[in-house]
Amino acid sequence: MRRVLGVALAAAVLLLTGCYGNDQNMAAKVGQTVITETEVTQVAQNFVDAMPDSGYTVEQLRTTVVNWEVGIQLVKQSLGSNETLDAAVTDDAKASFIAQYSDVTALSTNPETASWTQDLAAYGVGSAALGATGMNELAQELGVELNPRYGEWNPATGQITGTGSLSTPFPTATAATAS
């Protein structure tokens, strides 16, 4: 009887905290690609390491990194099937984007982050070419889900909004169902 009560109590705690059935390592999902908390932590740590005088911490950068990663995946998954992206996202355009930002330039010279920096540049160039409307169309086509700790995906801005909550059932929103 005590064991049954213990299991029921544990299940109730999980349900009340919004954690029941969630993939706790999922920060976001774009299409079928999962962006993990581990990846978010690594990208944020790489940024902090590349810019030690910035004053940023990994925790302060998490939501920004999730925004970047969602955008990166929207562009990566659409290259080859979107004429506007295909025309805009060139090696020269990515190099120009990287050169505009000292922190991105620092990351681009590190062998561990150079590939990710190219992906970030493709997102920067691609999102500028498509604009908010075009990026939102990609999000609606592919679907965007967020771990509730980051807030919700706002189709009007193409960004994460809200402060997030660990007590919100997962998933909170998908671009495919947002109107």
pLDDT in tens, 103-142: 889 889 988 889 999 999 999 999 999 998 999 999 999 9
Report whether pLDDT(52) > 90.
Answer: no
pTM of the model: 0.77
CA proximity to 98, closest of 69, 124, 65, 68: 124
Domain ranges of the chain: 24-161
Tokens standing for residue 37: 């908390």
How high is the pLDDT of residue 58?
94
CA proximity to 29, closest of 167, 177, 158, 175: 175
| Bond from prior residue into 155 cis (ω within 30 degrees of 0) | no
How high is the pLDDT of residue 163?
66
| Bond from prior residue into 171 cis (ω within 30 degrees of 0) | yes
Confidence of residue 50 (pLDDT cuts 50, 70, 90): confident
Query: What is the distance between the alpha carbons of residues 126 and 32, in angstroms, rounded to a whole number?
Result: 20
Contact, 13 vs 164, CB < 8 A?
no
Contact, 76 vs 138, CB < 8 A?
no
Query: What is the distance between the alpha carbons of residues 146 and 34, in angstroms, rounded to a whole number?
Result: 10
Cα 141 from chain centre = 16
144 membership: H or E segment, kind and range: strand 144-146
How high is the pLDDT of residue 161?
86
CA proximity to 144, closest of 114, 121, 173: 173
How high is the pLDDT of residue 74?
96
Query: What is the distance between the alpha carbons of residues 163 and 55, in angstroms, rounded to a whole number?
Result: 21
Query: What is the distance between the alpha carbons of residues 94 and 98, in angstroms, rounded to a whole number?
Result: 6
The string of pLDDT tens digits covering residues 141-159 is: 999 999 999 988 887 777 8
CA proximity to 69, closest of 109, 40, 94: 40
